[in-house]
Structure 1
Amino acid sequence: MDLLEYQVKEWFGKIGIPVLPSQRIDHPTDLKRLKIRFPIVLKSQVHGAERAKAGGVRFAETTIDAIAAAQNIFSLPIWGELPEVVLAESQYDANQEFYLAVVLDTAVCRPVLLGCKEADIDWESAGEKMHHVVVEQEFSPFYARRLALKMGLQGTLMQSVSSVLEKMYHLFVQKDLDLVEINPLAVSANGQVMALNGKVRINERAIKRHPDLAEMAAKIISRHTSTEINGILGDWDGVKMHGKIGILGNGTGSVMATLDLVANAGGNPGVCLNLRHAFLTDTTPTTFRDRLETGLKILEADKGIQVILINFLGSIPQTEEVVKVIARVVQQDNSELESQVVRSNGSKSRQVQNFTPLVIRLAGSEFNAARKYLATLKTHSDALLVVENLDEAVAAAVRLAKPTANKK
């Protein structure tokens, strides 16, 4: 999970990495109550790169100029993402700019400190200019000073840069991160260092160990229901696509296979959730039943989903409880449908479809009783279809996801 710049700088400020006076702007009119002095720079808060080239970074000398610039930034999509926040920050005169990072090297399974005396890095030739130090044992300030010396720094500047590197490493460890990056770390004429921009990438599997991170992830998911969430969270246990068929499965392999079959059959896969693992935002233990209930709510709340395809293969825990969850959802949808009957002149004239059809594939002897029970439920003809063959289930889901179908 990648944080936005204003979130990164909040973390930097708390741990003691020098950052400029700044203010979060949620609406252009917030600039009328600006607490920092002009001139300022306004930065679009999006996850996409190259925002400066796209027009997402603008300078302002007065309040009127700042409001006009903010209005343009808020209406400017960068790589398809509109900013919900703009960062207002003091301007800074830099004599030098460095690149610093702490990254997890999966090849050696150790953190690595990176440093370069150029901020605008050409990554094709970065090997010639980038210096690195592998943290092979328990961290000490020696590692940070060693990298600063490799970069050719001396005296007070070496001490300042190594101090920033130490704090970056402590943040890296405290929050279970994959990457902490400062690009650039600016140096003023009097030798003062300042983190002008930063990037933090959180290890998705560590999110549930940190309640504050889980809360941030939950907000991202709630705000990006119609975008590619996986680009931000990057996890195969929950993938957002732009199709009409939501998929629930009990394993990564079964979810991926179902997605491929839906696509090959001419369907459009939507949100895909693997219920075998806890969701990224779960901070307390959950059962398979809990995750099924949550998954169904997520899919039913998505107005783009027209059909929910459930593929359970082998065995699942709490089979009876899981079946009850499915039955309750289907019967609730059925009762809502009946309540939506439109009457004209005292007689029923038409029905308004107000449910999401469920196509359920249950394969395995343990599901025999479940299939029989679900078959006895009284529902609308398209509300529930239970089959044992996956190809048949996929074909039914594709058939029900018609372009003309209306979603509640």
Structure 2
Amino acid sequence: MDLLEYQVKEWFGKIGIPVLPSQRIDHPTDLKRLKIRFPIVLKSQVHGAERAKAGGVRFAETTIDAIAAAQSIFNLPIWGELPEVLLAESQYDAKQEFYLAVVLDTAVCRPVLLGSKEANIDWESAGEKMVHVVVEQEFSPFYARRLALKMGLQGTLMQSVSSVVEKMYELFVQKDLDLVEINPLAINAADQVMALNGKVRVNERAIKRHPDLAQIAANIISRHTSTEINGILGDWDGVEMHGKIGILGNGAGSVMATLDLVSNAGGKPGVCLNLRHAFLTDTAPTTFRDRLDIGLKILNADKSIQVILINFLGSIPQSEEVTEVIAKFVQQDKSELKSQVVRSNGSKSRREPNLLPLVVRLAGSEFNAAREYFAELKTHTDALIVVENLDEAVDKAVRLAKLTASKK
């Protein structure tokens, strides 16, 4: 999970890395109450790279110019993403610009300090332009000074840059990060340093250990579709695909096996979620019932999903409550569709109710009671299909997905 620049700057300022006076802009009219002096630079807050080339960075000398620039940036998509926030920042006169980063190198399983006297480069492809220092033992200022020396710095500038590197490493450890980057670190005529732009990449597995990160992730979830959520939240035993059949399972093996069977049967798997593990954003313990409830909502919110296939094999905690969650989900959807028909007041232009089918495969004697309960439930709704054989469940899900597609 990558933070936006204004969030990164807030972290930098709190930990002692020099940043310019800045202000978050949620609407162009916020610039009428700007607390920093002109001239300023307005920056689009998106995750896409090369925003300056795309027109997402504008300079302004007056309030009128700033409002006009902000209106333009707010309506400018960069790599398909429209900014919800802009960053207004004081301008800075730099005589030189450096690159600094602290990154987790998975090859050596150690943090690595990176530095270059050339800014605006990619650390993964910089080659000889980049110097590095591996933090082989407990961190000390020695590592930061060693990096500055390898960059060819001396005197006051060496001390200033190494001090910034120390703060970057402190943030890296404090927040369980994969990457802390300053690009560029500007140097003025007095050899003072200033972080003009920064990037922070959070280790997804660490999100639930930090309430502030969990809140940021929750805010991202509230603003994105479910397929985008998977891309943002990454590796929590979920697979993001773009097919029509959403899959829920209670183990990585069962999820992947179901995915393969759907593909082999001519179906197109969509988002696949393993409910055995907690969500990355969970700051408190969750039950299997909680994760099932959330998983169903995620798939139901995804407009590309036409069928949900559940494959539960083996022991599941709270099996009775799991049955209740599935029943409530199906019945709630049906009641919502009925209310939509009522609101249409019999108009000829109304859209026919389209209930999302749910195919449930329950394997094991512990689900006997659940299967009997669902058999009774089927008399009230045609949206639920319950079987014990996985091949049969996959076949029904694929057929339903194709049937739904042909109706559209």
The alignment's TM-score, normalised by the length of structure 1, stands at 0.90
Deviates more, 1:253-262 or 1:97-106: 253-262
What is the Cα deviation at residue 120 of structure 1? Answer: 2.8
Tell me which protein shows more helix as a share of its residues. Answer: 2
SS of structure 2 residue aligned to 1:183: strand
Please tell me whether the aligned partners of residues 244 and 270 of structure 2 are also in contact (alpha carbons under 8 angstroms): yes
Amino acid at match of 2:98: F
What is the Cα deviation at residue 390 of structure 1? Answer: 2.9
Equivalent residue, structure 2, for 1:158: 158
Amino acid at match of 2:275: L
Give me the whole-angstrom Cα distance separating, in 1, the residues matched to 2:149 and 2:226: 48
Deviates more, 1:358-367 or 1:230-239: 230-239
Once the two structures are superposed, the pairs formed by residues 110-189 of structure 1 within 5 Å of their partners are 110-121=110-121, 126-189=126-189
Please tell me whether the aligned partners of residues 341 and 353 of structure 2 are also in contact (alpha carbons under 8 angstroms): no
Q: Output one character per residue of 1:85-141: Cα deviation in whole Å (capped at 9) or x when no partner.
A: 111111111111111111111122211111111113266862312111111111111
Q: CA separation of 1:92/1:207 partners in 2, compared to 1, >3 Å: closer, same or farther?
A: same
Once the two structures are superposed, the pairs formed by residues 228-239 of structure 1 within 5 Å of their partners are 228-239=228-239
Amino acid at match of 1:363: A
Please tell me whether the aligned partners of residues 262 and 398 of structure 1 are also in contact (alpha carbons under 8 angstroms): yes
Equivalent residue, structure 2, for 1:325: 325
Deviates more, 1:54-63 or 1:222-231: 222-231
What is the Cα deviation at residue 282 of structure 1? Answer: 0.7
The alignment's TM-score, normalised by the length of structure 2, stands at 0.90
Please tell me whether the aligned partners of residues 123 and 130 of structure 2 are also in contact (alpha carbons under 8 angstroms): no
Once the two structures are superposed, the pairs formed by residues 245-394 of structure 1 within 5 Å of their partners are 245-263=245-263, 265-337=265-337, 342=342, 352-353=352-353, 355-394=355-394
Please tell me whether the aligned partners of residues 229 and 239 of structure 1 are also in contact (alpha carbons under 8 angstroms): no
Q: CA separation of 1:59/1:259 partners in 2, compared to 1, >3 Å: closer, same or farther?
A: farther
Please tell me whether the aligned partners of residues 16 and 167 of structure 1 are also in contact (alpha carbons under 8 angstroms): yes
Give me the whole-angstrom Cα distance separating, in 1, the residues matched to 2:46 and 2:252: 29
SS of structure 2 residue aligned to 1:372: helix
Q: CA separation of 1:361/1:133 partners in 2, compared to 1, >3 Å: closer, same or farther?
A: same
Structure 2 residue 74 is matched with structure 1 residue 74? yes
What is the Cα deviation at residue 42 of structure 1? Answer: 1.2
Please tell me whether the aligned partners of residues 160 and 193 of structure 2 are also in contact (alpha carbons under 8 angstroms): yes
Amino acid at match of 1:92: Y
Please tell me whether the aligned partners of residues 236 and 277 of structure 2 are also in contact (alpha carbons under 8 angstroms): no
Give me the whole-angstrom Cα distance separating, in 1, the residues matched to 2:256 and 2:75: 36
Structure 2 residue 27 is matched with structure 1 residue 27? yes
| Identity in percent | 87
Equivalent residue, structure 2, for 1:207: 207
Number of matched pairs: 403
Q: Output one character per residue of 1:8-44: Cα deviation in whole Å (capped at 9) or x when no partner.
A: 0000000010011111111122122211122211111
Q: CA separation of 1:381/1:83 partners in 2, compared to 1, >3 Å: closer, same or farther?
A: same
Q: CA separation of 1:157/1:361 partners in 2, compared to 1, >3 Å: closer, same or farther?
A: same
SS of structure 2 residue aligned to 1:229: helix
**Structure 1 regions of 5+ residues with no counterpart?**
none
Q: CA separation of 1:263/1:157 partners in 2, compared to 1, >3 Å: closer, same or farther?
A: same
Q: CA separation of 1:23/1:241 partners in 2, compared to 1, >3 Å: closer, same or farther?
A: farther
Q: CA separation of 1:356/1:124 partners in 2, compared to 1, >3 Å: closer, same or farther?
A: closer
Q: Output one character per residue of 1:304-327: Cα deviation in whole Å (capped at 9) or x when no partner.
A: 543322121233222222112212
Give me the whole-angstrom Cα distance separating, in 1, the residues matched to 2:405 and 2:207: 37
Give me the whole-angstrom Cα distance separating, in 1, the residues matched to 2:238 and 2:75: 29
Please tell me whether the aligned partners of residues 42 and 86 of structure 2 are also in contact (alpha carbons under 8 angstroms): yes
Q: CA separation of 1:39/1:340 partners in 2, compared to 1, >3 Å: closer, same or farther?
A: closer
Amino acid at match of 1:390: L
Amino acid at match of 2:204: E
Please tell me whether the aligned partners of residues 22 and 36 of structure 1 are also in contact (alpha carbons under 8 angstroms): yes
Deviates more, 1:264-273 or 1:201-210: 264-273
Q: CA separation of 1:191/1:2 partners in 2, compared to 1, >3 Å: closer, same or farther?
A: same
